[in-house]
Amino acid sequence: MFKPAGFAWLFVNEARILWRGSILVRTHKYVLGPVVVVGLMFQGIALILAAQIVRHPLPLGQMVLVANLNLFFFFVLMLSRAMTSAIDVLYGRGDVDFLLASPIPPGRVLAVRMLGVAGSVAVPWVLLGGVLANAMAIHGQPWALAIYPMLLAEGLVVAALAFALVVGLVGWTGPKLARRAGHMLALFMGVFIFALGQAPRFIPQAALGHFWQALLPVGSAPGVQHVFAKGLLGQPAALASSLAFSGVVFLLALVTLDARFASGAITAAAYRPGGTEARQGGEFRASPFAAVLMKNLRLLARFPGVVTQTVYRSLTLVPVVMILAGKLRIGSGTNVVAPLLVFLTGQLALFFISVMVVSDESPELAASAPVSSAFLKRGALVAAGYVTLVLMALPVIGVLARDAVLLPGLLLGMAGVLVCNLTLGLRLPIPLVRADFGKAQNGTMLGLILGVAVSSVWSLAVWLLVTPHPLAWVVPS
Amino acid sequence: MTEALRVRGLTKSFGRPVIGGLDLSIASGEFYALLGPNGVGKTTTLRMIAGVMRPDAGSISVFGRDVLADPLGAKAIMAWLPDEPLLYDRLSPMEYLEFVAGLWRVEPGLARQRAEELMETLGLWAHRNERCEGFSRGMKQKTVLAGALIHEPQFLLLDEPFTGLDAASSRLVKEILQARVRAGAAVILTTHMLDVAERLATRIGIISGGILLAEGDLEALQRQAGMHDGSLEDVFLQLTGA
């Protein structure tokens, strides 16, 4: 279809590789149905939301503030993902040297990689934001469609920055720490968004009002510093300027990195003499089960992003701690803690067992050993269950100290969700990392959807169990 | 001599037949090289003997232990080294050996001693606590070799064991394997390095089309190929029609 070795041909090849390594591939035929249903639900909600927005328009200043905040969130979340993607396409996939050895101009290879990353980080947000933009357009606000070019342009800036950052970080610290920096960014953003949502509970209304006031643009015509926000709000000149700026930043990064990429200096930076030091080994064990358990725990501890992803999931603990400490009251009181903890147990169990499955690079080694396959599965289940329970021990002790009557229901729910999600994750691990080049994706979206559903069902069951009149706070008698 | 491996009527197909009624016998203290063109089922044969793939038909026994009826008993005395190193990138060689020794229930004191000896011998000692993710192919191959040897298996199945090894390491591995054979173990290896097979193996089998075309030492193979002399390479090409 395209001229071989040309830009479009290379881009199609890159898109194909990115797609085949993506999380949707393995179970797309099962996932398509739920995705369409969820998409339609989102579109329905967006239509209602858009009607409200149109009916109660915000002043321009507040619109600019909302646009700025959205652009900021998108930027940081995209950057985090772009950094890990940049590491994958420059150092992880292993085909850069092959392409550099081909007669294709290196600059074209780099440009395609950067564009691929830009697209892959922007598209999910474009799809999400597009739902609201479509609804706004249906309600007679076509300016909202500016989100499409604006987010794609933001993807270009993000990709440019991510490649520059990654090249610098890898040269300085190596790919592992650079990858960790990307994960930390995501964690920072997650905590920030969560804290922002919780802010009205801690910060006095007046202080919070001052904070937002300070962020509002001064005067009736927002200045040049708000050009991107105005672009997102569909102002033609601002939109054109934003797109031009993004293109220039992208080209600048490309031109800056091109010579180093062509010389192989960028990819060579990942090769370091010797490997990363691991903790001193040498604790030989006679029991195969102990050996399997220790191996699983080590692989879990060394899984990229395990800390950030665990913390991310454990943000549920913040309201739990506040409720137990008496600083926050939601619905029916401390009872709410039980379903929250059950949900968290389910999500952590699903995450840890998925890490075990995805990390097991050499299952055939154990298959050739004199141990049964059930034994190995048990090893993975026990390791994942053990880590989950260790993390959940402290909150459970908190419940015991604060409201011991919740404990039977809580423990029952935790045991149930643990068993269900560990079993589920063993068969359908959630997608955690992009598949290695040439390898199939282990994780499945179906596992993720079912896991969240299982956690929710158990949470609901426990809530009904521990709350005498579960709906009393919603429907006053 | 004890019969180390006895394969009878081994059959496997993946849509099309790959192995069609293979018979194979190897005695203890024997170094057997299984040769054949690409895609004729050498790796599949080793995988079935190692107990990681079930044949469609046939029987396999290793030192009298039935691989199909008593897989765990048979695996306990075997080591299988596939063509791609079965390694965990995020474990160090020492941790990898801990894991393998544990799987084969090697007594901890003995396992530690063997691990240290193997790592010293194979030049891994300086890297024992580094994660394998940064290792070269040769280093990875040496690590999995150490893993294959830590439980002192009686029967070794080696699929292209010299891939990625430098000349010195390659010689070292050959010496280690020959020492194991002298001690009464049996080795079956596949390789495309015919000179290595010619020098190392006590017997060579040439497989093609899922069956054993010829078997024996070089002289026997020459006879079966209808040749009076010629290298193993000549015989191989004659027999396989390549």
- Is residue A275 over pLDDT 60? no
Quickly state the pLDDT bin for B58 (edges 50, 70, 90).
very high
Supply A276's token pair: 């990363």
Residues in chain A with CB shorter than 8 Å from the CB of B87 are 361-362
Q: Does A283 touch chain B (CB under 8 A)?
A: yes
Quickly state the pLDDT bin for A223 (edges 50, 70, 90).
confident
The Cα–Cα gap between B223 and A99 comes to: 48
- Is residue B124 over pLDDT 90? yes
Quickly state the pLDDT bin for A28 (edges 50, 70, 90).
low
With CB atoms and an 8 Å threshold, state whether A276 touches B130: yes
The Cα–Cα gap between B159 and B86 comes to: 12
- Selected residue with higher pLDDT from A164 and A42: A164
- Is residue A355 over pLDDT 60? yes
What pLDDT sits at residue A29? 61
Domain extents for chain A?
7-205+222-268, 288-466
The Cα–Cα gap between A16 and A20 comes to: 6
Mean pLDDT of all residues in A346-355: 95
Separation in Å, CA A116 to CA A149, A258, B13, B192: 16, 16, 41, 40
Least CB–CB distance from A302: residue in B80, B86, B90: B90
Give the residue from A174, A176, A125 showing the smallest Cα distance to A152. Answer: A125
What pLDDT sits at residue A474? 59
With CB atoms and an 8 Å threshold, state whether A299 touches B90: yes
- Is residue B109 over pLDDT 70? yes
- Is residue A26 over pLDDT 60? no
Residues in chain A with CB shorter than 8 Å from the CB of B97 are 281
- Selected residue with higher pLDDT from A330 and A113: A113
Q: Percentage of chain A with pLDDT > 70? A: 88
What pLDDT sits at residue A25? 54
Residues in chain A with CB shorter than 8 Å from the CB of B111 are 284
DSSP letter for each residue of A271-283: --SS-PBPPP---
With CB atoms and an 8 Å threshold, state whether A366 touches B88: no
What pLDDT sits at residue A166? 87
What pLDDT sits at residue A266? 77
Q: Which of A360-369, A443-452, B107-116 has the highest mean pLDDT?
A: B107-116
- Selected residue with higher pLDDT from A219 and A170: A170
- Is residue A424 over pLDDT 90? yes
Nearest CA in chain B to A274: B134
Please count the helices (runs of H) and the strands (runs of E) in chain A: 19, 0
B54, B67, B88: best to mutate for the A interface, most A CBs within 10 A: B88
pTM of the predicted model as reported, rounded to 2 decimal places: 0.74
For β-strands B3-14 and B78-81, DSSP reports them as unpaired
What pLDDT sits at residue A336? 85
With CB atoms and an 8 Å threshold, state whether B78 touches A368: yes
Q: Percentage of chain A with pLDDT > 90? A: 35
- Per-residue pLDDT tens for B134-189? 788 899 999 999 999 999 999 999 999 998 888 998 999 999 999 999 999 999 99
Q: How many CB atoms lie within 10 A of CB A135?
A: 23
CA angle (B149 as vertex; B73, B215 as ends), nearest 5: 75
The Cα–Cα gap between B109 and B45 comes to: 35
User: How high does pLDDT run on average in chain A?
Assistant: 84
Return the minimum-mean-pLDDT range out of A4-18, A70-84, B125-139, B224-238.
A4-18
Quickly state the pLDDT bin for A277 (edges 50, 70, 90).
low
For β-strands B203-208 and B78-81, DSSP reports them as unpaired
What pLDDT sits at residue A445? 76
For β-strands B16-27 and B3-14, DSSP reports them as antiparallel
- Per-residue pLDDT tens for A34-83? 777 877 888 889 999 999 988 888 888 888 888 998 999 899 889 888 88
- Per-residue pLDDT tens for A454-471? 999 999 999 899 887 766
Q: Is the dihedral of CA B80, B81, B85, B91 positive or negative?
A: positive
Give the residue from A1, A221, A200, A175 showing the smallest Cα distance to A83. Answer: A175
With CB atoms and an 8 Å threshold, state whether A285 touches B98: yes
